Amino acid sequence: MNKAFEFYSVVIRISKYYNLEKKFAGTYHNIGLIYGGQRNHDKALEYFQEVLKIAGSGDKLRVAEAHLNIGNIYLDKGYYDKSLNHYYNAL
């Protein structure tokens, strides 16, 4: 897991350097999944929120996945209204 995180971090640094972040929303998503798997919800939320900013409305699948994962995190934290809202946005 640490190696994957290291590689994703390198990809993000490179994408920022070359202003290619929009092409690497999936990398942010994958880092969010790593943090989510480690139960580090706050960091996972940061990365999923970044996916929403980067993907905008252009990548509907990526946006839906991010909303679904944000909903799952809020569900785990007991924020049911927020969770439900993100689940609706994922549809």
CB within 8 A of 9, min separation 6: which ones?
Answer: 31
pLDDT of residue 14: 84
Residue 80 dihedral angles phi and psi, to the nearest 5°: -65, -40
- Of 9, 7, 73, 6, the residue nearest 37 (C-alpha): 73
Task: Count Cβ atoms below 10 Å from residue 31 Cβ, excluding itself.
Answer: 23
Task: Indicate whether this model's pTM tops 0.95.
Answer: no
In the predicted model, residues of the chain with pLDDT beneath 70 are 1
As a whole-number percent, the residues of the chain with pLDDT over 70 amount to 98
